[in-house]
A and B are shown apart, each in its own frame.
Chain A
């Protein structure tokens, strides 16, 4: 196939450079790291959702042959390490001291010769618990007599976490008073889990002789994690090296710092051996960060003919036992939920949220989502359909009536965002064309006559992705810029080092394509490195679709900086004035005499062999890019479902997705991202959920009961392409990987509700399991 002999650049369907190691089984994931003298570990976890710890006896475990250490909360407390700060500014127990606050919470950490012995030792630890009442339903968390979960905080007498609001309450109130029609819909976005195929883990390797701590870990943000480790441990930041090797999927699961990482590092420090910590699947599903868990109310005020006058939203947010919410700063306790007016021209909007603690795992993180955009768009798109139903109007028509027009760009939303271009009507039109909407409607009429239960659902939306700007968005105070460092070698080959970290998004290919376009050298000749804090510039990492918007921009900018110097060298080589040179995309040439020119390969060589006077040798630069604004990818989705009357099983017959992520760096990779996101979004709508019984027992702690789409349930995706360049990005690109998880759940639910509407069903909460759908049909005579 000889891909290496072609010259690929931005916009090409370039096959991925990273594939070679993965298809051979030569990837290097954390669990593949084996170091001499390495010990293994296991975590003892709480069987109770809420209980006081009376005593812990580790003596029998310590006596087991092959056990090196058993660490408890008391041991950590002696070092001031029993609690750690979360990314949301709260505290979280590393190992429980006073109480356990959710089922699966970390209680003790065993280090042993191998993982089997470590597991055996867990059985020998004796913990005496005094069970307490648990709160698992956020609606009861603030109720009379609810047990206080965070009594570790002085004076804390309830489970209240935060209140937040945004928008213009009075203006919204007026809109609702004056409206001809208002609708109100309560809905629940259930707790789900990112569940990457690789669980979380680390290998901490403390070198006693040098004082250096190297931690190989599943980290989506290695630089930020190094800073946090330094702040918590007291080690110098220069003595800590985080290496994030190949990551087997992240989706937000690998953004927080988990107790296992900290315990592994402590154990390595104490024992002087490398220590591996690797979660099992049930540990991953039970204790690492969940997503969503939002009770929401959506309200729209409109005219009789469907013009929206105002929207309101009320949220009850369950953050679990410790607030470990991923957010771009404490100023955003609901992340970017304020994007909820979405792609519609809405004159008045107001949202408020109350956050509470519960006896559930800490979170919630941004699962394939730019900080609660998923919840916001689901709320809006579901409420839009409720309004369409109330007005007896085609949901497509209602959306069209309210779209922000492309002539209104750059649009300033009433919630304070500046959009970067968009043609929502155009994208919807394209989705309808692919779907054959008129024919579909006819098919549905016919299906209904034949007694079939068929539904069509649409969802149109804009996201907001690519945090910074640094002045607005930060992690623990560190502004959310990102970085790229580019060096050209004498032979014209290059190395690009990034502050972000791929978890499967294909950075080794797509970022090389950006440099290729900027410098006119083939992407094949550019090696991309990420994830090692010793060898990459400081960056904030990959999540919230920020790699392309922020680090992609940094890559463009650093290439342009290199090109500036290259131009000076070319002028020297061509004995011409700099002003007389022009850049053709491939080389610098003398204006008016195209036969005189130098390409990047020739210039690189000269940078090391024939540097002009007053110029430093070498050809390299670094750029820290702070985006002036975010980017706003948008899409129009259409879903067709059919429901089996006998079983309630929902089958997704068709799924059409038209996404606009601006200029596409590699269309193959973009499509792949959309496929994957759709599978996760459809899974969310139909089957994924984490539930608890009243005592706080986790009911979905394995892949037997945490169901995800398999190849059997996934539809064939029908993708359409739409390109409106972003005005906020040097390449015109936006993030893309999260649009499908943001936009698709509402399309599926809208389709199912549409299918069931002849039976009087107006809403069903996700997941739309056969059981739930069957009941809804039965209760309504279907």
Chain B
């Protein structure tokens, strides 16, 4: 089937099998490997992307369903060297260890703060409860999202990982 979808702001047209999952489309057809795959049962959230701004689990969505819609992956959140406050928060608060759950957490956290810009800790816990992390025990992830709340402006001098 032929689909037209906007991915990270760029229009994409593709011929895909009806059964192709969105997670495989973005990872293998578009090479956007920041979206991960961690389970068979829609439990882990490693595959979370935004569909028209709403977080969805891309392992559970057929690619053809995105025809005419907008998909945003972790790669679409930042531009150049500039990080979003949520990304920066994960760095500042040690919100990641192996990094495998991180894109899903960041995508989920970003969409959540759009709706609720000043959440309580309990609200953050609930917001990320569909995303599993095996490494961090969640505490620092919660702090990371809180960090973004407290530092809303994009931090221009961010150089995380740029190894200047």
Contact = CB atoms under 8 A, between A and B. Distances in A.
A binds B: yes
Interface string A1-41: 11110000000000111111111111111011010000000
Contact of A504 (B34, B40, B83, B99): B99
Interface in A222-255: 246-249, 251
Contact of A19 (B38, B44, B46, B91): B91
A197 B38 contact: yes
Interface string A269-291: 00000000000111000000000
In the complex, which of the residues B32, B73, B96 has the most CB atoms of chain A within 10 Å of its own CB atom?
B96
Contacts of A708: 132, 134
A669 B135 CA distance: 12
B1 interface: no
Contacts, number: 205
Nearest to B37: A31
B90 A23 contact: yes
Size category of the B interface is: 35 or more
B118 interface: no
Given A29-B100, A672-B97, A1 B40 contact: no
Contacts of B75: 24-26
A167 interface: no
B106 A23 contact: yes
A19 B137 contact: no
A715 to B, nearest CB: 9
A678 B139 CA distance: 11
B124 to A, nearest CB: 8
B154 interface: no
A680 interface: yes
Interface stretch (B50-58, B63-71, B155-163): B155-163
Interface in A419-467: none
Interface of A: 1-4, 15-29, 31-32, 34, 114-116, 195-199, 246-249, 251, 280-282, 503-506, 527, 668-669, 671-673, 675-680, 702-704, 708-712, 714, 716-717
Given A21-B99, A24-B83, 7 more contacts: A1-B92, A18-B99, A26-B75, A31-B37, A198-B38, A702-B41, A711-B141
B97 A506 contact: yes
B149 to A, nearest CB: 16
A679 B75 CA distance: 29
Q: Is the interface of A mostly helix, strand, loop or mixed?
A: loop
Nearest to A702: B41
Contacts of B39: 281, 702-703
Contact of A1 (B88, B99, B133): B88
A197 B101 contact: yes
Contacts of B139: 675, 714, 716-717
A448 B125 CA distance: 30
B36 A248 contact: yes
Given A1-B158, A21-B161, A711-B129, A675 B136 contact: yes
B162 to A, nearest CB: 7
22 contacts: A1-B160, A15-B160, A19-B91, A20-B91, A21-B161, A24-B83, A25-B103, A28-B33, A29-B33, A29-B100, A114-B28, A196-B134, A198-B98, A281-B40, A506-B97, A673-B97, A675-B140, A676-B97, A676-B135, A702-B41, A712-B129, A714-B138
Nearest to A673: B97
A62 B66 CA distance: 34
Nearest to B141: A711
A21 B99 CA distance: 9
Contact of B99 (A31, A246, A714): A246
A714 B129 CA distance: 11
Contact of B94 (A26, A669, A677, A716): A669
Given A21-B161, A702-B43, A248 B138 contact: no
A503 B98 contact: yes
B115 interface: no
A24 B87 contact: yes
B92 A15 contact: yes
A503 B135 CA distance: 10
Contacts of A282: 40
Nearest to A716: B139
B96 A676 contact: no
B134 to A, nearest CB: 5
Contacts of B140: 672, 675
A249 B100 contact: yes
Contact of B135 (A31, A249, A704): A249
A745 B20 CA distance: 42
B17 interface: yes
Contacts of A716: 139
B15 interface: no
A116 B92 CA distance: 40
Given A31-B37, A198-B38, A703-B44, A717 B98 contact: no
B9 interface: no
A15 B95 CA distance: 11
